[in-house]
Structure 1
Amino acid sequence: MDRASGDGRLATEPNRDGALVSQSSELEDVSFGAVLDVDGTPRVQWATPDGLEVVGCGVAAQFTATGADRFEQIRSAADRRFADLDHDGPAASRPRAFGGLAFDDGHEPSGPWQGFEGASFVVPRIQVTRADDGTWLTAVAESEADAVDSLEYWRDRLADLPAMRPSGTGPGIASTRRSTTPGEWTEQVETALERIGGGDLEKVVLAQAQTADLETPVDVAATLERLRRQYPNCYRFMIDHGEDGTFFGAPPERLVSMRGDRVETEALAGSVPRGETPEEDDALVERMIDSERFQHEHQLVAETIREQLEPLARDVTVGDQTVRRLATIQHLQTPIEARLADDRHVLEIVEALHPTPAVGGLPLEAAWETIRSVETFDRGWYAAPIGWFDGDGDGEFAVGIRSGVAVDETVTLFAGNGIVADSDPDEEWDEVQLKFRPVLDELR
């Protein structure tokens, strides 16, 4: 059984060798925040703009990896555990592995990223899924008897949970401190501009970190619920590593969604703030659309994504450029679709696309060298792939921006901006501060 001594606590040590068995049953609607309050870590939460929402607790299987071949390590380990999966339930309730990867394949866990390996994914023992066809409880175990027993136990337990959970107010911010001063930022941008002017770079994304010391501990699930209300068209995620910290956020950018041979992704680059009136909104958007700098940056991202997909695809379609309007910011957006030429795992597509020029730069190696030489903090899992995959190799990943990592009574937030030939350090500073706001506002 996945509870110790009948007390309902979820086991957190995975069986690393046995096949997985899962059983599902339909639930009445339940507060996903309340589900996350049950015993058991790690805890995960994933929600998409189109309505899929999943929360999970405990560990049925866990996959971790480090180094340059971390994508392959995760795929191989997951293929072995998923190979003989026996799932009794609808497709929407199937077990999934949730997690993410570090931005840099040389990442070593430290500071707020203690416990966050180069790549880490968990198949929860208990998973609750809300999809178009209802809300489902799934129990995952190493035998049918254990899965059935666990399903019955947790179905009874979750039946007593409320359908709504108050999201409350933010924990309050006692103080903040930055990784980068305005003067340091100006020097960093000027260094990037010199390299761009010398022909070594076309674009580099420079980022900052800001640590908030809180007045009370943060309730991450409640924070995500408030973010849902403010940013309903964004992803929401939480990867909780217990005492090691919780990475969470509300990113607007999809890295990839894959179903069978169909891949969907997007270019999201170039941004301006929202205006005080609809007329000011439109004027800011018009300025962005007409800006040679914004268009150059955006086209670099869209073209590079197309080039990254072409070796894997039978065909790639780049859609028309649109504007993505969020509560505090507006982005240029171009949808991109592909049909794969061969059978692939979503992690292969993730590996091909990460990092996109929207969070790294071009050429990639020159951008990497610039980021490493000028940034004053460890990106950890910031701006890296966050999402899930299943036993068929399908899955969905967002780019881990508009995010923070919570440890004890501190939250470290991250934001960055693309630097191109005519970037102005002061304007870029202001735009980065705007990108801190989605999470920072919900902590106040």
Structure 2
Amino acid sequence: MDVFFESIQQQFDKNFPFVIYNKPNSDKIIAFLSLDDSLSFNEKLDKKGFVFAPFDGDDFIFFDEQNSEIIKKASFNFDESLTEFIDILPSNNVKTFHINLVEKGVEAIKLNQFSKVVLSRKESVPANQSDFISYFKKLIQTYKSAFCYCFYHPKVGMWLGATPEQLVKINENIISTVALAGTQLFIENQKVTWGDKEKEEQLFVTQFIEESLKPFVKNITKTKPFTAQAGNLLHIKTDVSAEIKSEVMLSDIVLALHPTPALCGLPKKEAKEFIIKNEGYNRKFYSGFLGEINKDFENNEDNKSDIFVNLRCMELEKEIANLFIGGGITKDSVPENEFIETINKSKTIKKILG
């Protein structure tokens, strides 16, 4: 083990918090090693550091650069072996619960309670927390175009993920974000076509972003929807950018966008209430957000933020990995198909547990 990962292992062995991450298509890994075991928060998002926030609530866990040792590793080339994960299909009870959940969601949409809701399930599979460094390396070598991370706090737990979805990127007064929705498996040399359900779902996300940003920005521009690959999955994506108005705070923008329709639904308040009442488990940090705020720590440049949505993630306990998988539900959703989609999505994380 090299010096960089030895430092991470020592931090874990001391029960001290840390976060390691690799930005999309970057050749650098960055780590925040907390100088003590305190649990800090930054609801205003007004300091320089790394934020790790839940789906619900404003307990935004924070690694302050002033209370962390920040180390970096450049020019890495991992060669972790990827053995096949021996997967077991979810039980009939799990399948029935999720299908019934989707049916409830579709019915609520038809009753005009909301136009879209994202419904998920939790799946627990065998894993070893002691192998977290190997899992992290596998994430990076498998999902180079994703934001890959490993977060640990003794008072919170350990989380790893490879998320393809940016919540917001800020460079001085320019904001960039993406509208991402719709999912299908990537198949080599097969022409990609999208159905009306996926196109409508992605349009909802784009419209939500535009409307949410309007009070805080000017000169909004966006691309036409296009197909983007994330691991073994394809999504419909639109890039959105704008100029931030003066006096607008980072927290104004983040709270306007979070949680996005891609992880919650529309309207946001009603969809979120339905999720919390009906999903049957606590999402915790799944579909929250995480990333650098107010500084680009890779290049040591101030006034930059790089924040991602926490999906394609897992909570890693001693001998179990809790996976979180969901999908966007509209009036045209077919419950059986939605359940199959969660199985396909679970392969993203299961692939690195082998």
TM range (shorter): 0.7 to 0.9
Q: Tell me how far 1:342 sits from its aligned partner.
A: 1.1
Letter in 2 for 1:347: S
- Which residue of 1 is the match for residue 63 of structure 2? 122
- Secondary structure of the structure 2 residue equivalent to 1:349: helix
| Aligned equivalents of 1:126, 1:209: Cα separation in 2 | 34
Residues 1:340 and 2:251 are matched in the alignment: no
Per the alignment, do residues 37 and 168 of structure 1 end up closer, same or farther by CA in structure 2, a change over 3 Å counting? farther
The structure-2 alpha-carbon separation of the partners of 1:304 and 1:172, relative to structure 1 and needing over 3 Å to count, comes to closer
> For the residues of structure 1 that align with 2:96 and 2:3, how far apart are their CA atoms?
46
What is the aligned residue count? 341
Which residue pairs with 2:10 in the alignment?
38
Residue 311 of structure 1 aligns to a residue whose secondary structure is: coil
Q: What residue number does 1:97 align with?
A: 49
Q: What is the alpha-carbon distance in structure 2 between the residues aligned to residue 429 and residue 165 of structure 1? A: 34
| Distance in 2 of aligned mates of 1:209 and 1:248 | 15
% identity of equivalent residues: 23
What is the distance in 1 between the residues matched to 2:141 and 2:92? Answer: 29
Q: After the TM superposition, which residues 48-59 of structure 1 pair with which residues of structure 2 at under 5 Å, given as runs? A: 48-51=23-26, 53-59=29-35
Residue in 2 aligned with 1:195? 108
Asked whether the equivalents of residues 322 and 333 of structure 1 are also in contact (C-alpha less than 8 Å), the reply is: yes
1:310 aligns with 2:223: no
- 2: CA distance between counterparts of 1:167 and 1:343? 47
Following superposition, the deviation at residue 390 of structure 1 comes to: 3.2
Q: Kindly indicate whether residue 229 of structure 2 is the aligned counterpart of residue 325 of structure 1.
A: yes
Tell me, in whole angstroms, the C-alpha distance in 2 between the residues paired with 1:217 and 1:61: 19
Determine the structure 2 residue equivalent to 1:17: none
Which residue in the other structure is 1:375 paired with? 279
Whether the 8 Å CA contact 1:99–1:239 is kept in 2: the answer is no
Residues 77-226 of structure 1 correspond to what in structure 2 (within 5 A)?
78=47, 96-105=48-57, 118-123=59-64, 125-129=68-72, 167=80, 181-214=94-127, 216-226=128-138
Deviation at 1:98, TM superposition (A): 1.6
Q: Which 5+ residue runs of structure 2 have no aligned equivalent?
A: 296-301
When normalised by structure 2's length, the TM-score is: 0.87
Give the SS at the match of 1:38: helix
Shift of residue 345, structure 1, vs aligned partner: 3.8
Cα distance, 1:412–1:320 mapped onto 2, change above 3 Å: same
Q: Does 332-341 or 163-172 show the bigger shift?
A: 163-172
User: 1:194 and 1:307, CA in 2 relative to 1: closer, same or farther beyond 3 A?
Assistant: same
TM-score by length of 1: 0.70
Q: Aligned-pair distance for 1:303?
A: 0.7
Conservation of the 8 A alpha-carbon contact between 1:324 and 1:332: yes
* Rounded Cα–Cα distance in structure 2 between residues aligned with 1:122 and 1:400: 17
1:71 partner SS: coil
Paired position in structure 2 for 1:47: 22
Cα distance in 2 between the residues matched to 1:297 and 1:369: 19
SS at match of 1:129: strand
Task: Report if the CA contact (8 A) 2:139-2:352 is conserved.
Answer: yes
How big is the shift at 1:166?
A: 6.0
Tell me which residue corresponds to 2:43: 71
1:229-378 matches, within 5 Å, as: 229-242=141-154, 244-275=156-187, 277-278=188-189, 280=190, 282=191, 285-286=192-193, 288=194, 291-378=195-282
Aligned-CA RMSD value: 2.7
The question of whether the paired residues in 2 share the 8 Å contact of 1:62 and 1:122 is answered with: no
Displacement of 1:173: 6.8
CA contact (8 A) 2:168 2:176 kept: yes
Q: Distance in 2 between matches of 1:235 and 1:427?
A: 28
